[in-house]
A and B are shown apart, each in its own frame.
Chain A
Amino acid sequence: MSESRQRSARTEWIQRFKQSEAYYLAAPVIGILALFLLGGAYAPSILTLPSIISLLSMAAILLCACMGQEMVMLIGGIDLSITPFLVLGAAWGGALSGGTTLGVLRSLLIVGSLSAVLGFISGITIVGLRIPAMVATLSVGRLVSSTYLAVTGGKPSGNLAPILKTIGTGSLFGIRYLLLIAIFLTVAMYFVLNKTRFGKSLFLIGTNLNAAELAGVKVARIRVLVYVAAALCSMLSGYLMVGFVGSIQNDMAAQYTMYSIAAVVVGGTSITGGRGTFTGSALGAVFIILLSNILSIVEMAEGYKMFIQGAVLMTILVLYSREKKLKQ
């Protein structure tokens, strides 16, 4: 009797743990620790402080893009236009700035409003015309990247403003600006998602659209707004990236759409919407960047790198995001 009660208490504890936030944060944390151990065993230089800081600042770029993806995924959509907007921000941010701080602000205004309009177009397509998010963002993204290629002629040019370089590589009291930005963004997103009306309504929309509508949430307006915000986040992360890399290349962010999805999913956000934390996604971003960095350090061929990334993602999915059985 007492044994069975004990067992039921234990299973209850496990159940509660499985529903808690910590359960979903555990995956990226354990993953990061495991990667550090494995990577450290191969190349101890990974474990030194400078390399960890540089890793975290690289993750900050992905984290900025992940903010948009997180919001979109919370309402049950998906954004496949991260890379085009990121490249747009990186390339035109550099080209239009003319190398001055004032120019950067001006280009931020121009490119920002352009991205907002384009994000608005994909939002309207999804919400007003009921096109699935995947198709709409994909098509808008392809349009953006081809336009960008046509305008730059495949060879982006322009002077990089010193301020972007400072943000990308400089540091304040020994802490990288990018790291500060990452911390700021994570805290800000935490507040937006958990403390504001807007953030809370995202969860409601993701859980049940009709219920949200009936509860008085302005569903259409918020959904469009989320896609605009996603476009802006990717664009901003382009500015961070161009500062970090220091030059503009066409294929600099080819993997970022996929990385952002992987990071958000690893961080425990449900792909069907309604559940997730940005803290998880931030850890997920660190995990993904760490994985790709370690695979680069090991000097693995591109094929093996991709295969291992796929296998790791699949493992995490199998462990974490199995759906419930139909038969219960």
Chain B
Amino acid sequence: MKKKSFRIQEGSALIALFLLIACIIVGGCSIDYFFASRYWINIFKNYTPVILITLSFAIAQIGGACDISVGAVASLVNVVIIFGFAEMGLPPWVCIIMGVTTGIVCGMLKGLIVTKLRLNALISTFAFSWLAQGLAMILIPNSEKFNAIMFVTKFYGKRIGGIPMSAFFVVFGLLIWFVYSNTRNGMQLYAVGQDKRRAYFTGIDCDKQQMIAFTLGGVYSALAGVALTGLLASGQSTYGDPLTTQAIASSAIGGVSLLGGSGNLFGAALGALLVGLMSQLVLGLVKTASMQPIVTHGMVLMCIVLPSAIQTIIRYRRKSYE
């Protein structure tokens, strides 16, 4: 049973990679400036928040908890940073520290809710997303827009050796995952995600592992919030929440099973990048504005369905051979 689910997960991550290459080929053939560094810098700049939100969703999901408040928390972080700067007149660094702390605290709170209060993760994070979104809208009502911190925007738009700063955000996030997933805690997280009960009987501290996963998810949300501040150059309280749906789709494409306990964050990041690249390509290739979202969402649906469809066909053919 375990081996089978592993195979499905691996296959779908490979398919995400395959589709990404296909997208690059299509883009390279049809758009002249596709391989220009500007194009890619732009893609990373625009989609880094989504990628980080996807990572935040995926890490909790690997631990078997479906966290749908990641986008709202990222927005809250963005709003806290801008609020601290524009309203309270704090220096930028203090604001950023404040924002990041907010993100991490939110992650820990969610962890406590899921582990100590023993609420269903999906529905309790859904309530939590209302709390976070509400708090963000209390600080900055959506109709108002506050001044940007030019400092953050400049930092976000910077390039180091031709590589945009936003890409470093993602690399930093993946580095955390790389270190974490190779520790004992990271291994145990998979066990918890696959079957919490069995993991408990093997002597794993399930609450601790899920707590760590949620806290790291909070770190990713905080990073996403900082990236959002750089991207939007303002505080927008409702920008983040809709990104959650994209994150769910992206991590499913990237091979993170919604049943928990399989996949990894590299796949999730790949899935998010694929979705981002696809929507960017659609923006360039499909000329009718009203058709663009249909094509994008249709392609995302296809990407989600494709791996499972292939698996199902293979399974049926095997069955008929036997």
Contacts and interface: CB of A to CB of B under 8 A. Distances in A.
Contact of B141 (A125, A138, A301): A301
B294 to A, nearest CB: 5
Given A301-B141, A303-B136, A143 B298 contact: yes
A172 interface: no
Given A138-B248, A271-B123, A326-B197, A306 B305 contact: no
Interface string B82-94: 0000000000000
Contacts of A78: 122
Contact of A139 (B142, B237, B304): B304
Contacts of A306: 130-131, 133-134, 137
Most B-side CB within 10 Å, residue of A139, A309, A311: A139
Interface residues of B, number: 50
Interface in B119-148: 119-120, 122-124, 126-131, 133-139, 141-142
A129 B309 contact: yes
B312 A303 contact: no
A32 B278 CA distance: 47
A314 interface: yes
Interface string B143-156: 00000000000000
B305 A303 contact: no
Contacts of A271: 120, 122-123
Nearest to B207: A326
Nearest to B199: A326
B252 A132 contact: yes
Given A129-B309, A147-B294, A142 B245 contact: yes
A303 B118 contact: no
B24 interface: no
A317 B118 contact: no
Given A130-B308, A139-B301, A321-B119, A146 B258 contact: no
Contacts of A149: 290, 293
Interface string B107-127: 000000100011110111011
B127 A314 contact: yes
Contacts of A143: 294, 297-298, 301
Nearest to A124: B305
B291 interface: yes
A313 interface: yes
Interface of B: 66, 113, 117-120, 122-124, 126-131, 133-139, 141-142, 196-197, 200, 206, 237, 245, 248-249, 252, 257-259, 290-291, 293-294, 296-298, 300-301, 304-305, 308-309, 312
Given A136-B304, A138-B248, A301-B137, 14 more contacts: A78-B122, A134-B258, A135-B252, A143-B301, A150-B291, A150-B293, A306-B134, A308-B134, A310-B127, A310-B133, A311-B131, A317-B120, A318-B119, A321-B120
